[in-house]
Amino acid sequence: MLAVRNWGLRDYGASLAEMRELRAARRRGEIPDTLLLVEHPSVITVGIQGDDGDVLPEGLPVVRVERGGKSTYHGPGQLVGYPIVDLDPRGRNVRGFVRDVEEVVIRALEDLGVHGARVPEKRGVWVDAARKIASVGIAIEEWVTFHGFALNVATDLTVFERFRPCGFDGRLMTSVARELGGHPTVADAVGPITRGWTSVFGAPIAPRPAPGPLPTTPEVTAP
């Protein structure tokens, strides 16, 4: 069974606190695998790899978190998804999970009219292997995932140009609006992302061997 919770526009700090609570609830078996969808007011988040001394945009709040990767931007016009998924029945396959998250976004982009794809050795979803349209950065604690992806729908891309998001030149970032023109909204992307989530994570799971002990520290993967 899968669930989706659409939080709409919500403060990053409040979302982070509840996301962590829901991760613990999933570990206890109190909720099913759940995708949280949210749009944040402007904020910079910095993963465990830090910002390498890069100068971050002035005037924006900065939150350091436990996900993989470096710094990135969340803001209006961006649909952020936090998959809370128990990896035990999925064989604790972290790389497979990250590819599945990317696949959710790729399928959603096809629905929206944009051809997105993976690029070898680079995390996230790209257009023409040259422009990054979605970032992925997760954390895994007790084999339950949290944090997730950020899809630029109609995001102000000039903010990315003011620093090095995920260690890349910010000018490489793109959005659905830039690729297609027009005025897409975050609401336009909710249906395609939900369908992608259901089709990818709702597929039957092959039986797995009984898992070993739970890890004592989080695993992470970078944007």
- Sequence-distant (6+) residues with CB within 8 A of 174 are 127, 131, 132, 133, 152, 157
Distance CA 67, CA 25 (A): 19
- Sequence-distant (6+) residues with CB within 8 A of 181 are none
The answer to whether 51 is a known catalytic residue is no
Asked whether 76 and 153 are in contact (CB, 8 A), the reply is no
Indicate which residue of 166, 176, 186, 222 is catalytic. Answer: 166
Q: Give the HSE-up count for residue 134: Cα atoms under 13 Å, Cβ half-sphere.
A: 31
Q: What amino acid positions are annotated as catalytic residues? A: 166
